[in-house]
């Protein structure tokens, strides 16, 4: 099931009542979290099949090692969103505005362009010029 499906299911609380639009996603559904760091780490571990073990407010050494192995940071979501918008044909200045960045060159440097996206752009460019892109040896 995709994330949208889970979020759709999560619109209803255990009592059967729908959460309001102001409800929160992380932590105990519908409730505001005190710190995003603990919630993020718990979410990343659970998403990777690891049961988070917290002792005295600290994550166990084994769980901390798993987080390092997984190597996913909250900020990575922002970069991924920007890259997907750009691949989805948002103009660079639009992505800049959505990310709240100061200038287009900062946005361009920030985004991670995928080779598949570059190849698709080259195909569109060549098709518009009437010269199909050659894929010899690929």
| pLDDT tens profile 76-130 | 888 888 888 888 888 889 999 999 999 988 888 777 655 556 777 778 888 888 7
Burial-class residue 63 by CB neighbours within 10 Å (0-12, 13-18, 19+).
buried
* CA–CA separation, 104 and 96 (whole Å): 6
Distance of CA 81 to the CA centre of its chain: 6
Residue 18 corresponds to which tokens in the numbers above? 């729908």
pTM value is 0.55
| pLDDT tens profile 11-28 | 777 777 787 766 666 656
């Amino acid at each position: 099931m995709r994330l949208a499906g889970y979020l759709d299911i999560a619109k209803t609380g255990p009592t059967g009542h729908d959460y309001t639009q102001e409800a929160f996603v992380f932590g105990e559904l519908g409730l505001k979290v005190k710190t995003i760091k603990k919630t993020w780490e718990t979410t990343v571990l659970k998403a990777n099949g690891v049961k988070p073990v917290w002792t005295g407010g600290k994550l166990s050494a084994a769980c901390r090692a798993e987080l390092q192995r997984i190597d996913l940071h909250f900020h990575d979501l922002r970069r991924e969103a920007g890259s997907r918008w750009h691949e989805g044909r948002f103009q660079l200045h639009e992505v800049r505005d959505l990310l709240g960045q100061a200038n287009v060159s900062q946005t361009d440097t920030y985004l991670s362009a995928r080779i598949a996206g570059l190849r698709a752009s080259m195909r569109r460019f060549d098709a518009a010029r009437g010269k199909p892109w050659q894929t010899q040896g690929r």
